[in-house]
Amino acid sequence: MVALVGPSGCGKTTVLRMIAGLIEPDAGQVLIGGTDVTHAPAHKRNLGLVFQSYALFPHLSVFENVAFGLRRRRVPEAEIRRRVPQALALVRLEGFESRFPRQLSGGQQQRVALARAVVTEPRVLLLDEPLSNLDASLRDAMRVELRRLQQSLGITTVFVTHDQEEALTLSDRVAVMRAGRIEQVGAPQEVYERPANAFVAGFVGRTNLVDASVEGADGALLRLSGPGGVPLRARGAAPPGTRVRLALRHEKIRLGDAPPTGAANVHTAEVALAAFAGAQWHYVLRLPGGLELQAEAPSDAAHPQGAQVTVWWTAEDMILLPAEAAPDA
């Protein structure tokens, strides 16, 4: 299961439509199972496609919506009667065969669209922001359903999303795109913990990006000067005087706890902003020199706005990036 993720207009849906055969690429090839299908018409690629809007036929029942692709392929009626209920069972919609789309919730419509896509036993399943029209709680539930369905069927799946959390939780591989190019592709944990550049670090997950200059090194630890001269420590290698960019995930900043002996980065900060978000608090922390960092902490560790708190993080928590890899404005 591969996620294409990136900002609006970066080319995610264009790539998906080229795979589907709805757009012919200007150059290059589209290979499916090693077969070149670049110039093959869409109906001969044997792909399942789920649109963002689901594109159900409002005048057809759930059964006939799911059976549509089979009828276009002139599958015998007995086979249709066997395969449609199987597909509906996969998405847990048994007993909904006679209903119409207007009688279904958003999540149920999405599952009908999935059933219609998988009933033809496609070689690849393509999903164009399949969860974007659902409310937050239903979206979380459908993530589990999508992953379960994909794993049970074993179908290679490519899906487009602008939701970074969705990309990380659903996929086996994530491809981060910007301006028509793939900036990085890898396992979700790899992309999150070892971003290729500042754009990836800033787009995938919640990250503080801090510019600093290298003052020297103590073994494998770099001594850096951040905004306002705040001293920072990071693991890596760079010559003195080099300008670098550092990425520090919000959740890596610890508040209020006694830092361990030898902690590389320990500061006193003012809580410039505190916002309650259910399971956690979101903070804006102002360090000496004016550097502001965003942080997250469990909801049982509340700190009021204006409070002075001790904050710390390890040298390993700071990801060293080249300064020239800053994301576009």
Question: 140-156, pLDDT tens digit by residue?
Answer: 877 888 888 888 888 99
Q: What is the pTM of this model?
A: 0.84
pLDDT computed for residue 65 by the predictor: 96
List Cα–Cα distances, 201 to 207, 250, 300, in angstroms. 7, 12, 28
| Average per-residue pLDDT for the chain | 90
Which alpha helices (DSSP H) does the chain contain, by range? 12-20, 62-72, 77-90, 106-118, 136-153, 164-170, 188-193, 198-203
Question: What per-residue confidence (pLDDT) applies to 300?
Answer: 76
The half-sphere exposure of 182 on its side-chain side, counting CA atoms within 13 A, is 12
Q: What is the average per-residue pLDDT within 246-250?
A: 95
Amino acid at 26: D
For residue 317, what pLDDT is reported? 93
- pLDDT recorded at residue 326: 41
Residue pLDDT, tens place only, 48-105? 998 878 889 999 999 999 999 999 999 999 999 999 999 999 888 999 999 999 999 8
For the residues 35-49, what does the mean pLDDT come to? Answer: 92
135 pLDDT higher than 80: no
Q: How far apart are CA 261 and CA 238, in angstroms?
A: 26
pLDDT for position 325: 42
Same fold, 2-199 and 206-325: no
Domain boundaries, the chain: 2-199, 206-325
Report the pLDDT value the prediction gives residue 197, as an integer from 0 to 100: 92
Secondary-structure class of domain 206-325 per CATH: mainly beta
Q: Quick check: 160 and 16 in contact, CB under 8 A?
A: yes
Confidence band, pLDDT 50/70/90 cuts, at residue 229? very high
**142 vs 309, residue with greater confidence:** 309
Q: Identify the band that residue 322 occupies on the pLDDT scale cut at 50, 70 and 90.
A: low
**Angle at CA of residue 183, ends 179 and 189, nearest 5°:** 135
pLDDT band at 178 (very low <50, low <70, confident <90, very high): very high
* Residue 144 CB neighbours (<10 A): 11
Distance CA 281, CA 277 (A): 6
Number of residues that this document lists for the chain: 329
**Residue 34: band (very low, low, confident or very high) from pLDDT cuts 50, 70, 90:** very high
Neighbouring residues of 205: CB distance < 8 A, sequence distance ≥ 6: 164, 168, 192, 249
CB 241 within 8 A of CB 253: no
Based on its alpha-carbon atoms, the radius of gyration of the chain, rounded to whole angstroms, reads 25
CATH, domain 2-199, list 2.60.120.10, 3.90.1150.10, 3.40.50.800, 3.40.50.300: 3.40.50.300
Give the per-residue pLDDT at 56.
Answer: 92
What is the pLDDT at residue 328?
46
